[in-house]
Amino acid sequence: MAENDRPQIYLITPPDFDLEVFPDRLAAVLDAEGIACIRLALAGGDEDRIGRAADAVRQVAHDRDVAVVIETHLKLVERHGLDGVHLTDGARNLREARKALGADAIVGTFCGTSRHEGMTAGEAGADYVAFGPVGETALGTGAQAERDLFAWWSEVIEVPIVAEGGLTETLIADLTPVTDFLGIGAEIWSAENPAATLKSLLKPTRP
């Protein structure tokens, strides 16, 4: 990624949301900022709930020409007219997902902090690789994806990368020259005005 390029925004939904409220909040964010892609990242295994959420998000997103990928649930992509899938286990199921969804679908994956896993995913045909968390966290092992990983990847590997997890203005300023996408979700959804919070977060990327 060139030093003067701005990373695009890869928006991540909350793990649970109110279908009567969230579509309007999402629409406000999409209307306020240019969003490249939305990841529907719902927790749980209620197929009906996830399906209704997928339909609602797809309608808002596709009305604005924004792609939607769903986390993990490969079989819901075609059923709900989505654009692809986001895997959470690195390269493990990537070839299977590509075979099932075809060449035109978006197939991306999360590779944690592992350069090796990311390279394996890229070789398996990932459209993008996400690394994180980039911010401090008490979750999991507490390991962070360091700037050096993004800097190396952007120099050597052509597969686009997403920086996600605990983004702050300071981290965004630091990572902007070395990442293709900023994965933003939890950082904004608890705010009263997510669109304004996103705009504030992105100040370091502005000229």
The pLDDT value given to residue 128: 98
* Domain residue extents for the chain: 8-205
Q: In this predicted structure, what is the pLDDT of residue 3?
A: 41
Residue 206 binned pLDDT confidence (cut-offs 50, 70, 90)? confident
**Would the pLDDT of 1 be above 70?**
no
51 burial type by CB count under 10 A (0-12 exposed, 13-18 middle, 19+ buried): middle
Statement: residue 64 has pLDDT above 70: yes
Please tell me the predicted confidence (pLDDT) of residue 141: 75
Q: pLDDT tens across 174-197, in order? A: 999 999 999 999 999 999 999 999
Give the range among 32-41, 133-142, 151-160 with minimum mean pLDDT.
133-142
Domain at 8-205, CATH from 3.20.20.150, 3.20.20.70, 3.40.1160.10, 3.30.460.80: 3.20.20.70
- How many helices (H) and strands (E) the chain has is answered by 9, 8
**Prediction pTM value:** 0.95
Closest CA to 77 of 106, 44, 108, 109: 106
Instruction: Please state which of the ranges 89-93, 96-100, 135-139, 188-192 shows the lowest mean pLDDT.
Output: 135-139
pLDDT band, very low/low/confident/very high, at 150 (cuts 50, 70, 90) = very high
| pLDDT value of residue 164 | 97
